[in-house]
Structure 1
């Protein structure tokens, strides 16, 4: 007896749900492993074991570690970046947008160590801070250059100054105990490296930050 279209659709839906749950388990396991100091050395076998799946099942969902890191990066940064972008977009000065975004990321790193370790470990073998953050950082630099506020030769140089310095600062926050004003100091000196005058850089890096959407 032939199955009805409804039965076939339901079976397909169950299959999609099961696949999505397995993928989510793998990503969650990767976060648990990458969220520690030695997470950089995690292997496919380690992640599959933590997720309770086999290696073939892992490869049914991801081609390899690079694709998994990109998926994890999206999980870790997409919503946070969206909240940061929504908030800083209300600031007219692109230099302030850059400084504020840096401070939001560093403050998050100070407060959420597993998140910070994951960002640091993923960036070691992939796109720094994830592809979305990478693109947004360069876009902010482009806007600053077009406004005549960032006297640097290329947006790529500005992007690398922002992301490289921010990533190094995240490492410091994880391994040391810098003073409370560290996030603001780093943001100010990154602006200085982008060609912003010292007094302007210090002022822009110390403007009070509004809360992010959904945060008290």
Structure 2
């Protein structure tokens, strides 16, 4: 019996060592914390030395204060880290849409809210804006593209939007949104800029100027009044 029992524990030497489980938990916590630290550094590194180009691993390491060996212990490449960060931001975006869209029925206001939601965060968090506009995030986030398409289809159904080609309209909105975010990141564009470009987008979808302006202002008011309580990234 003693021999059998000895054989069973011999296959797992750490099982006999006191405190092995706490050490494993501590190691897991450290790995999780370091991985999160690297992803935060990827976001904080934007924009890099060249505001029109993606960051490099060296940019990330400088922000994180970690060695190259540590980075590659957790990620095989910068692209992998960018993908994981993008996935996390997509989850955050889904939460933001749910928080701001839940009680909005009018497709005009929904479209205006979604557009201003992105631009407002870019204005409040330039690093976030630089990342999403440089990492091809907007054109690759399937959840975002579905949301835009759904809002447009709802507007078509109500007769508010006059759109000949849905996919063209989606591409157009993503392109304008990307350029607007870059403008906000690179300059001190005001809230007036955000509202003006939102109204122009709505007009391009078939709304008259007055209706587009009204929907834009309603969405802006909703963001300003509900954003501080519903959005974790909101800044004064």
Which interval holds the TM-score relative to the shorter structure? 0.7 to 0.9
Alpha-carbon distance in 1 for matches of 2:187, 2:153: 33
Superposition map of 1:137-152 within 5 A: 137-152=148-163
Do the aligned partners of residues 37 and 88 (structure 1) sit closer, same or farther apart at CA in structure 2, a change above 3 Å counting?
Answer: farther
Do the aligned partners of residues 14 and 177 (structure 1) sit closer, same or farther apart at CA in structure 2, a change above 3 Å counting?
Answer: closer
Using the TM superposition, give the Cα deviation of residue 77 of structure 1 relative to its aligned residue in structure 2, in angstroms.
Answer: 5.5
Q: Deviations over 1:180-210 (max 9, x none)?
A: 4221111111112223333322221121224
Equivalent of 2:206 in 190, 195, 202: 195
Do the aligned partners of residues 72 and 3 (structure 1) sit closer, same or farther apart at CA in structure 2, a change above 3 Å counting?
Answer: closer
User: What is the aligned partner in structure 2 of residue 38 from structure 1?
Assistant: 50
**Which structure has the larger Rg over C-alpha atoms?**
2
User: What is the aligned partner in structure 2 of residue 115 from structure 1?
Assistant: 128
**13-22 vs 75-84, greater mean Cα deviation:** 75-84
User: What is the aligned partner in structure 2 of residue 27 from structure 1?
Assistant: 39
Do the aligned partners of residues 120 and 50 (structure 1) sit closer, same or farther apart at CA in structure 2, a change above 3 Å counting?
Answer: same
Do the aligned partners of residues 66 and 193 (structure 1) sit closer, same or farther apart at CA in structure 2, a change above 3 Å counting?
Answer: farther
SS at structure 2 position matched to 1:205: helix
Superposition map of 1:146-185 within 5 A: 146-178=157-189, 180-185=191-196
Do the aligned partners of residues 64 and 196 (structure 1) sit closer, same or farther apart at CA in structure 2, a change above 3 Å counting?
Answer: farther
Q: Deviations over 1:33-82 (max 9, x none)?
A: 11456363422243235434444543343342332222223444543552
Equivalent of 1:98 in 97, 104, 111: 111
**43-52 vs 196-205, greater mean Cα deviation:** 43-52
Using the TM superposition, give the Cα deviation of residue 27 of structure 1 relative to its aligned residue in structure 2, in angstroms.
Answer: 0.9
Unaligned runs of 5+ in 2: 1-8
User: What is the aligned partner in structure 2 of residue 88 from structure 1?
Assistant: 101
C-alpha contact (below 8 Å) 2:163/2:206 kept by paired residues = yes
* Number of residue-to-residue matches in the alignment: 214
SS at structure 2 position matched to 1:90: coil
TM-score (norm 1): 0.79
TM-score (norm 2): 0.73
SS at structure 1 position matched to 2:167: helix
Tell me if 1:211 matches 2:226: yes
Using the TM superposition, give the Cα deviation of residue 23 of structure 1 relative to its aligned residue in structure 2, in angstroms.
Answer: 0.8
* RMSD, aligned α-carbons: 3.1
